[in-house]
Amino acid sequence: MAESLLKVIDVYKSFVGVQALKNVTFTIQPGEIHCLAGENGSGKSTLIKIISGVYTPDAGHMELNGTLYKKITPIEAINNGVQVIYQDFSVFPNLTVMENLAVNSELSEHRKFVNWKRMRLIAQEAVKKIDFEVDLDEIVGSLSVAQKQMVAISRSLLFNTKLIIMDEPTTALTKKEVHNLFEIILKLKERGISILFVSHKLNEMYEISENFTILRSGQVVATGSTSQLDRKKFSFFMTGREFTERHFKAESISAEPIFEARNVGIENSFSDVSFTLRQGEIIGVTGLLDSGRTELALSLFGIQQIDSGHFFVHGKPAVIDSPKAAMAHNIGFVPEDRLSEGLFLPQSIADNVVISEIDRLTRRAGLVDKEKRSNEIVKWVKELAIATPNPDNACHTLSGGNQQRVVLAKWLACNLEILVLNGPTVGVDIGSKHDIHGILQSLAKAGLGLIIISDDLPEVLENCSRVLVMKAGKIAADLDTGKTNESAILSYMM
């Protein structure tokens, strides 16, 4: 058997008494695609930083290319062929593609003067390695997420790379972009480059990786061949919990629609979209990124205005031309990007929970009724099981799943009738995802009408009684989820 590229052996790491890693051991061979999985807080990021030399382990050691290291510096890791591509890609948004690709080479060689011709040659060599077509003079900040990722991958290949660590590389990518990324990863494998693919998505683990390691509470709970893993085992290893699948069935649906869209459209986005939503029902909307599903989601909350067709609420025409107008019709909206659109991260969890109902909690004199405010905070933290020792803590201290619960709490406090959710579990780990699905199904059973916009087909099939499949700006199919499957939905999407 070929010598291992990387061995992590009995590694321990703690921070101020908190054990981040305990007795972690795993191995990566040359040209291997290895998936590292675990929920938020499982120790994945700590392990990545130990491998790349950012952190020094308290105990244990690593072997890289056959050399033993009790501790390793970032420069030594790079010289051993280790490159890390973090979720933000660590690119300079104000520089060009060429400058981003060549800057590390210039700095590592301690050059005092810029040679633009040399930098262009370096950049051309970098993009050629993965057949990445891009304008080298384009400002990186204007590129798509997928293009920024390609810049980061191209840059990583300039340094005799042997191992690329990709930290949650598909979080903000469309299905097509994920497919393209996987093709590039397979080409890198053919060249003998190993990939440590960090993810918490089972379908990605199956599709791209040969072997896996799962961390929970800083310890390796499972490792082996991906072919030995199924969904039930994966969920248990990730969370320590056994889940039963809960396929939603609408139990008590109102006779009349609470919301209706008739032939609505936005020029160059979608057209002639019609559907109804009844009280107690969850309907899904899915499709590829350019299908019009995102624009439809935004129009339902007045962020984008329709220019054809009509909306109706309780059978009466409703002009939804702004979020304020949507809220007046008791419509709430959970955005796909909770970090920039759904929450005030530096503010307290408490403030985020009550912000949408602040007028109701304010007395005539303009002062907030502290008792009412406190009661609302306690109610929603308890009801949605938001895991926090103190609601006065900043919202950014929460995990992704708990942040999403805060977004839900913010809207549910407004006594909604209709809740639109665009990607309700994007970036949420498997345990929180299961819990959020349970909350949504309970809300529907309590009489709320929900619209879930998502490209996560298992999520749509599990939680919706109907799914609208969009393609090229139109509804290609209206399907009963009890009588369809992922393959059928994909056939309409493609």
Alpha-carbon distance 310 to 329, whole Å? Answer: 14
- The proportion of the chain whose per-residue pLDDT surpasses 70, expressed as a percent, equals 98
What is residue 339's predicted lDDT score, i.e. its pLDDT? 66
Q: For the chain, list the domains and their CATH numbers.
A: 6-239 (3.40.50.300), 257-493 (3.40.50.300)
Could you write out the DSSP letters of every residue in 74-106?
HHHHHHTTEEEE-TTTT--TTSBHHHHHHHHHH
Q: What does the pLDDT read at residue 54?
A: 94
pLDDT at 108 (0 to 100): 67
Q: In terms of Cα–Cα distance, which of 153, 146, 203 is closest to 180? A: 146
Q: Residue 490 carries which side chain, given as an amino acid letter? A: L
At residue 70, the 3 state secondary structure works out as coil
Mean pLDDT score, 183-210: 90
Beta-bridge mates of residue 445: none
- Which residue blocks in 129-174 are alpha helix, DSSP H? 145-156
User: Could you give the CA distance from residue 14 to residue 451 in angstroms, rounded to a whole number?
Assistant: 43
Hey, is 494 helix, strand or coil?
coil
Check pLDDT > 50 for residue 94.
Answer: yes
Residue 329 has pLDDT above 70, yes or no: yes
Give one DSSP letter per residue of 1-45, joined into a string.
-PPPSEEEEEEEEEETTEEEEEEEEEEE-TT-EEEEE--TTSSHH
Q: What is the dihedral of CA 147, 148, 154, 157, to 10 degrees?
A: -140
pLDDT category at 285 given cuts 50, 70, 90 is: very high
From residue 196, alpha-carbon distances to 48, 106, 428, 440 in Å are 9, 27, 20, 34
pLDDT at 158: 86
The pLDDT of 28-35, averaged and rounded, is 95
Lowest mean pLDDT among 26-35, 124-133, 314-323: 124-133
The pLDDT of residue 225 is above 90:
yes
Q: What average pLDDT does this structure show over 204-231?
A: 91
Task: Report the amino acid identity of residue 51.
Answer: I
Cβ atoms of 15 and 43 within 8 Å: the answer is: no
Contact of 117 with 124, CB cutoff 8 Å = no
Q: Which of 54-68, 344-358, 383-397, 403-417 has the highest mean pLDDT?
A: 54-68
- Please report the pLDDT score of residue 34 as a whole number: 96
| pLDDT mean over 292-311 | 95
213 contacts 200 by C-beta, under 8 angstroms? no
Res 2 pLDDT > 60: no
Q: Looking at residue 169, what is its pLDDT?
A: 87
Summary mean pLDDT of the chain: 89
> Cα–Cα distance between 275 and 469 in angstroms, integer?
12
Distance CA 413, CA 378 (A): 12
Residue 1 has pLDDT above 50, yes or no: no
Which tokens sit at 26? Answer: 């795993």
pLDDT of residue 465: 92
Q: Which residues are within 8 A (CB) of 423 and not within 5 positions of it... i.e. 6 or more apart?
A: 336, 453, 454, 455, 456
Residue whose pair of structure tokens reads 């791209």 in the numeric block? 208
Mean pLDDT, range 129-135, rounded to an integer: 91
Kindly state the DSSP code that residue 141 receives in the 8-state scheme.
G
Number of neighbours of residue 36 by Cβ within 10 angstroms = 28
What is the 3-state composition of the chain as percent helix, strand, coil, each rounded to the nearest 5? 35, 25, 35
Tens-digit pLDDT profile for residues 401-441: 888 888 888 888 888 899 999 988 887 778 888 888 998 99
What value, to the nearest 5°, has the Cα angle with vertex 63 and ends 59 and 65?
A: 165
Helix (H) or strand (E) holding 190: helix 175-190
Beta bridge partners of 475: 470
Which has the higher per-residue pLDDT, 184 or 203? 184
User: Residues 103-115: pLDDT tens digits?
Assistant: 877 666 667 777 8
Return the pLDDT at 174.
72
What's the one-letter identity of residue 265? G
| pLDDT at position 330 over 70 | yes
Per-residue pLDDT at 107: 65
- Of 400 and 447, the one with more pLDDT: 447
Q: What is the pLDDT at residue 190?
A: 93
Segment 300-306 shows an average pLDDT of 95
